[in-house]
Chains A and B, each alone.
Chain A
Amino acid sequence: MALLRLRAALLGPGPLRGGGIPWSVLRTYSSVSAKEKARRNAVCERTELLEVLKARVKQLQASPGPEVTVSKAELAPLGLGRQQESPAPRQSTASPAQPSSWVEKLKREMYVRQAKVERKLSIAASKMTLVGQANAKVKVKAVPSTKVKVKAVPNAKVNVKAVPKPKAKAKPKAKKMPKETKAAAWSQSHAGPSSACSKPEVVEVKQDVKAEKPPNVPEKRESNHQKIMQQTIQSNLECLLCLQQPEEAERLLLLYHSSPMKRKLLTIGAYNIVMRSWARKGCLHRLNRVLSMLESAGLRPNLDSYAAVLECMGRGQACTKIIWRCVQQLKQDGFHVDELFQKCLFEGDEKETVLRAIRIVQPDYQLPPAPKPQTCKSALLNNFYSKEKVVSYPKLDFSVQELRERFQQQLEMELNSTITIQSVESTKPLTPQALRARKQLAALRAQWRGAILQALQKAKHNMSQKRTMSGYNSLYPYLCLLPDEEYVDIMMQILNTLSPQGESLSVLARELGSKVYDRYLTQRKLHSRQLEKVQEIYQDYIHLLAKDSQPGEYLPREYWEKLVAEAGYGPSLRLKDCSWPYVLLMRLGVYLLEILVHSVKVPRNTLKPRLESRLIPVLYHIYSFRSSWQVGLIKPHPIFSQLMSDAAETTLTFSSSVMPMLCPPIPWTSPHFGAFVLSDTKLMRYVDGAFQHQQLLDQCPQVNLHPVLDALNQLGNCAWKINQPVLDIIISIFNDKGNEKLDIPPPLSEAPKPPVSPGNSSAWHKSQKHELLLCKKKAAEMHSLRMDALYKLSIANHVRDKVFWFPHNMDFRGRTYPCPPYFNHLGNDVTRAILLFAEGRPLGPKGLDWLKIHLINLTGLKKKNSLQERLDYANEIMEEILDSADRPLTGRKWWMNTDEPWQVLACCMEIAQASRSPDPAAFVSHFPVHQDGSCNGLQHYAALGRDLIGAISVNLMPCSVPQDVYSAVAQQVEEFRKKDAAEGLKIAQVLEGFISRKVVKQTVMTVVYGVTRYGGRLQIEKRLKEIDEFPEEYLWEASHYLVRQVFNGIKEMFSATRDIQHWLTESAKLIAQSGQTVEWVTPMGLPIVQPYYRVRSTVLNSNMQNLSVKSSANTNQKPDTVKQKNAFPPNFIHSLDSTHMMLTALHCFRQGLTFVSVHDCYWTHALTVDVMNQICRQQFVALHSQKILQDLSKFMLKKYCSPSKDSRAPWQKKLMEQLSNVPETGEFNLSKVMDSTYFFS
């Protein structure tokens, strides 16, 4: 009713009403009450329909020709041909008295369109199988009732429409039935007099359908299905909004709106989008019609709707009275004008326009002040956020001007969306063969571009033709979003990076789809002026970081928020949510891939000019068979691969988001905003299609996320540079022949050559084939390793003279990762060795010693010795260290025989420089020194359970030498073995002398992360196999025995650990069994949900192949109990170790330290190692002083056993018992950690 008033208010008695539609009538376009409807007179109904479809009528009149043919084509199979011959009324105005034939025609048109859309949706929206079957059943059942109606009521048109169309293409049987019925009903409808007053039946049929729905169809699934449909509809509408096609958008909306079944799919968001598209044009009366639809659907306008209305009024210069009424209505609905500017996300000039409209009625209206920034209340961070201890943010060694220039460079790179860089292979001389191949390739590429462009345009043309005929084609708007050339660019990129072994169709499709999506986002950011605003804010934000400017007492996030508030940019700079459903992304990708496969051709005689010239495809689609399933692959023709390898091109093209940033990243201020300037980055990484995490992050109070955001900003603000001497050595080896021992992958020319044998491959001997296969496999592996190294080194080489940044995000447990995927500090030994802190700090009194200890840690030589012994050893071998530093490739090469050779080499060089400097304490070092947690997972378990023996063996207790948990477990196992051997157990006797640290290490390490006996046995078997003397025939029995003993040993030593693990596992099992997913909140306030669901796949039809798309996650999907259960303990522990890391990061920042982490390995300057170590221990104690398990238990009890739920269910009682029964803890004194040297070392 409120809406009715609003609309009445809007229109008032003014000219708009002249359209001639009483609102009361329009309202009945919906189907609130059948009785009420029945009472309405026919004239009213007709008028109403007329109004709604007026625009289409005009279109019809304007171009009757094509429309008629369309109808013929589309409807002839239904036996309706003769309807077209009926004299098309050409009266210029559709008078209310005789609208019926027009209305009919429109309806038919709509029906056809509807069917089209439905079919499309059935493909797009995933969940089909079960729901589809259930639906199909319902439909068939519903048919008889329709038939009855057809006989009873002469005009059955609308009835027929109400018969739900089969949704699943894959259900041909179910489909046929209703179709036939439809046809029959149609022809009947023409016999009878036609009129439009059949609304009541629509409702009734709908109700029938509902009533007949089998009770066992789970509503949940249905809503799940709907969710994706809704997403698809919204992204389609967004797309049309972007293309500025409000007519099309409204038409699409109407398609759903006019069918009672499908109207359910429309949310207020969908209507709002259409309203916004009219608002953008300033067409108030069209917007009004959408409002009337919105009302008839029984939805209430929200703030966004009002924003759209006001925007429209602001644009259209509506009269004061109308605006005034609208504002009144807004207030009556319980909103406030200020809220518009506080909560709505505006794009472009929307905000200014709304403001203008408001100022027409309230000339002195002032924008509301920005809300007061909130402060996180977490107990762990009280100190951190307290205003008394504010320190100024550490400055970078750059001026404001320099940082602005760097920002410009970064922006330019992102605007180009790709960057082409020289590969490190470019220094090699060019052979004539390569020159020739490059020339050929260049010519071919020009041809291909043309061919792809042509094919794309043709495809689009065909689609648009079809579009005017059938009204709608789902992919078409997505092919219009970007200039054609950009699609071609994207496809050419795929072609250029395709490996000779080919790539699976689904991977390529996904890549294509998401590339289009990324560019679309960039476009939107440009057009909505979002970029402009970001640029403006960033210019000021830089002052926080630059050395030559003032402001300081802010965190990056706080400062950014302050600037945004001052600029009056509303809630944030983020865009309205516009994500595309995964299935849609795939469909678009497959479509583009098809174009690519069909259009790219190469002359067959490119390499062998003797052959006749004929064009053959470059890409071919082929199936690869893996036991019972098949995978579709796209492979390049060997001619193409040969050409590519001959050309030995030395440029690489990357997406700009894989490069390190050239300026400090944009601080994370919300889950939707941060990191790169343009490239879309998720705060939390998750599998495709999962939206639980995002939902959870949006739902939780944003202030709770501040610590996490601040920690990520802190990690991302660390500036890096390249260790050039080490990089040069690595590149020289890479460009020579590689070195497998040093982890530099050799080039393909070093790959083993298969035995050359003449004749047909089929005639070969079995062993020859086998050997060939092995060679091929090896070559494929080498290729991928080589490419990976090439990417890393080339990126490093590209930024060798620059300072750069790695923006960070996290996985769903809070573990942090740098966003650029190839080159970052989480990489292998090689990549870590070429990274240095851009900021230098003097070594200070103890710095050189720390460098030396770090060096010995990297060699892996003195693990069981104390720090002093490691330092002494380093001093002892100083000569070797200096030799390695001075003559890395020509000297004694001591560094090569260590655990992490490249980092050792880099460290040797640093030590050499420092020790040779006149005052080592003043030597400015950029070198990161690492401190590793020893078996970090077990450390957290031991602390959780206050487990004394466990705590000692993982170094929570102070000790003079580091304890080695693996040796301890090995000892324990050895004791068990001795006992068993004495009792005469054969296998225990066989194992004498074989039990060592190495054998058990991997299993102990992974026990924390939930390795099973099965996996553990395989690990141990592998280790035993490596021992040559071990008798092979006992492998199985021995590994089986050992894994049991290792588990027993751990149980003995870490009793509390096993209890906690067991408690976590059991709790997760019961939760999952009750049909819910396991959720918890870290002590820092990050909400976590485990995204493991039973996978259901959807078949996506395309011309090339049917693609099964796994829609892995949905809110209402059933959880995968096994995964939920097995993964909970490790995930929980990871959420704790990430919390520990973030706490350490934040507090290190307060002390002015440079800090980065690789999960449980913390990096800082040599000068500040001691401070970092202290903070790390403090924070560990602080973290575990929280009642972590009790809090978890409380949270879960509240979440899963709240009294509002049906507490009588047996599972509920069991779950409650399980959750309340928190494991007991031991007597370990946590504060001891503070003095433990080897806790992190």
Chain B
Amino acid sequence: MRPARAPPGCGRLLAAGLRPLLGCPRPPPGRGVAGRWPSPGLRVPEAAEAERLVQEARRAGGPLRRFIACPRLARTVQRCLWAARGPQPVVLECGPGPGILTRTLLNAGVRVVALESHSAFLPNLQSLENSLDGQLKVIYGDFFRLDPLVTGTVKPPAVCSDKLFEAMGVAAVPWRADVPVKVFGILPQKKERNTLWRLLFILYECSSIFRYGRVELNIFISEKEYKVLTAKPGESRAYQALSVLCQVGCEIQLLHMEPWSSFVTNLKNKGLAVSKSMWLPNDHLCLVRLTPQRDLFSEGLKPTNSATFIFMVKQCLAKRKSRLTDRLNSWSLDNSGQLLKALEIPTDVETGNLYPEDYKRLFEALQNCSVFTESWFHDEVLESIRNINL
């Protein structure tokens, strides 16, 4: 695969001289609702035109991607994103591609930062940006290659979150404050699972984008992954470590379900490339809102020890039929029975039947237990970090 190269002059986009979007907000002109921009009245291209744009971009190569091409779907998404009243944060649109949703959002008066990783789409978006008066900011970068672990300089389209937020003009807010930024994106299918893991990991660590507060994610994910994220204890196969961590970490709302066929791919044959699913239904893409829990770190769980929590949950759920006490015992906790009794968890419970909240309570109780913090466990945690952060 040929590495995509930066188009000439795109470095300029991240230059510090940019006018921040929120830093010095212009007074809202005229009739607009507070926090909203007046509708620029942009023409939203029809689906066929968007499809053509995608196909043109395909020739420049790049991995499989999915786009919103149909104006109707774009309006639905826009409404989903914009349900609440009051002052609205900026929307970070990841991979807008032909810009159908971008225009719909702009027409609705939303401030948008478009983060596009494919250089073929950039000229179009940039001319749109220039035609507006600061309502749209276009940045060259890939949201799904945020803050790579490799040392050295970050080559675009990989981006650094601090550079990104600086360009967006969004400052960090405390965890318990309101949502500073809304993110919208369609998870890349090939690394969907990995991306979810990564997002959860930075969420628990309060790093990367979550350093700026409880960033709200509005993402299209495949139905099977949605089923996993929201699985209940005892649901065989679906209930996994990912389910526990997601349910503990975020409030999960299903905003909308849309059949796969409504999206356009950049494949040669215009195929849908729906990933196979053996056990779970997978007929839709689900628009899911993940809002980080306000009181996630109010008890014993802290960003500093959350890696251990993730590790613990993964170890427990590697074999869902194993007994919780056996797992705990294998970590040198011989008084696990007492501990479970104190937490009012049945001692013979299988790890696949324990509720997410209970995992959190268990971990918080374990924090007080000296054995748990002995060195070997941390070595392992570190290894697992590497594997998640790939």
Contact = CB atoms under 8 A, between A and B. Distances in A.
Interface of A: 597, 604, 614-617, 620-628, 630, 632, 635, 637-638, 760-763, 766-767, 769-770, 772-773, 776, 1036-1037, 1103, 1105-1106
B250 to A, nearest CB: 20
B368 interface: no
B338 interface: no
B84 to A, nearest CB: 34
A597 to B, nearest CB: 8
**A-B interface, 6 closest residue pairs, ranked by CB to CB distance from nearest:** A616-B332, A623-B318, A762-B304, A638-B376, A763-B304, A761-B378
Contact of A638 (B307, B375, B388): B375
Given A624-B383, A769-B382, A1105 B307 contact: no
A12 B54 CA distance: 91
B334 A762 contact: no
A624 B381 CA distance: 10
Contacts of A624: 383-384, 387
Contacts of B131: none
9 contacts: A617-B329, A625-B387, A625-B388, A626-B387, A627-B387, A762-B306, A762-B381, A766-B149, A766-B207
Nearest to A763: B304
B319 A773 contact: no
B386 interface: yes
Interface of B: 2-3, 149, 151, 193-194, 205, 207, 303-308, 314-315, 318-319, 322, 326, 329-332, 334, 371, 374-376, 378-388, 390
A712 B375 CA distance: 52
B258 to A, nearest CB: 26
Contacts of A628: 193
Contacts of A761: 378, 381-382
Given A616-B334, A760-B305, A622 B382 contact: no
Contact of B332 (A620, A626, A1036): A620
Given A627-B194, A628-B193, A770 B318 contact: no
Given A616-B371, A762-B308, A770 B151 contact: yes
Contacts of A767: 151
Given A761-B381, A762-B304, A1105-B322, 4 more contacts: A616-B334, A622-B315, A623-B318, A1105-B319
A986 to B, nearest CB: 14
Contacts of B318: 623, 630, 632, 1105
A770 B315 contact: no
Which of A597, A762, A766, A1106 has the most B CB atoms < 10 Å from its CB?
A762
A31 B86 CA distance: 84
Nearest to B319: A1105
Given A616-B334, A760-B304, A1036-B2, A769 B384 contact: no
A626 B197 CA distance: 13
Contacts of A762: 205, 303-308, 378, 381
Q: Which of B3, B318, B326 has most chain A Cβ within 10 Å? A: B318
A1203 B235 CA distance: 56
Given A761-B378, A773-B382, A620 B331 contact: yes
A606 to B, nearest CB: 13
A1103 B306 CA distance: 29
B350 to A, nearest CB: 13
B318 to A, nearest CB: 4
Nearest to A621: B330
Main secondary structure on chain B at its contact with chain A?
Answer: helix
Contact of B376 (A632, A635, A760, A1036): A635
A769 B151 CA distance: 11
B385 A769 contact: yes
B123 to A, nearest CB: 23
Between B326, B330, B375, B387, the greatest number of chain A beta carbons within 10 A of the residue's beta carbon is seen for B330
Given A635-B376, A638-B375, A1036-B2, A773 B386 contact: yes
Contacts of B194: 627
A715 B108 CA distance: 84
B162 to A, nearest CB: 12
Contacts of B378: 760-762
A548 B315 CA distance: 67
A637 B303 CA distance: 26
B314 A623 contact: yes
Contacts of B334: 614-616
B332 A637 contact: yes
A617 B307 contact: no
A623 B315 contact: yes
Nearest to B150: A770
A660 B304 CA distance: 54
Nearest to A630: B318
Nearest to B317: A623
Contacts of A616: 332, 334, 371
A630 B2 CA distance: 31
Contact of A1106 (B3, B319, B380, B390): B319
The winner among A614, A623, A628, A772 for most chain B CB atoms within 10 A is A623
A628 B196 CA distance: 13
A741 B119 CA distance: 46
B314 A625 contact: yes
Contacts of B381: 761-762
A627 B318 CA distance: 13
Contact of A625 (B3, B371, B384): B384
B155 to A, nearest CB: 11
B52 to A, nearest CB: 29
Nearest to B388: A625
A837 B149 CA distance: 53
A632 B319 CA distance: 10
A641 to B, nearest CB: 9
B379 to A, nearest CB: 8
Contacts of B307: 762
Nearest to A1101: B321
Contacts of B2: 1036-1037
A136 B32 CA distance: 67
B8 to A, nearest CB: 14
Contacts of A632: 318
Contacts of A635: 376, 380
A1037 B3 CA distance: 10
Nearest to A1037: B2
Nearest to A1035: B3
B299 to A, nearest CB: 16
A1037 B5 CA distance: 13
A637 B376 contact: yes
Contacts of B308: 762
Contacts of A637: 332, 376
Contact of B382 (A617, A626, A772): A772
A761 B303 CA distance: 12
B149 to A, nearest CB: 6
A1014 to B, nearest CB: 11
Contact of B3 (A630, A766, A1036): A1036
Nearest to A767: B151
Contacts of A773: 382-383, 386
Contacts of B332: 604, 616-617, 620, 637
A763 B304 CA distance: 5
A402 B216 CA distance: 83
Contacts of B383: 624, 773
Nearest to B332: A616
Nearest to B316: A623
A141 to B, nearest CB: 24
Most chain B CB within a 10 A radius of its CB, from A597, A615, A761: A761
A760 B315 CA distance: 21
Nearest to B327: A621
Contacts of A621: 330
Nearest to B241: A625
Contacts of A772: 382
A1235 B326 CA distance: 73
Contacts of B390: 627
A604, A621, A637, A1103, most chain B CB atoms within 10 A: A621
A1029 to B, nearest CB: 21
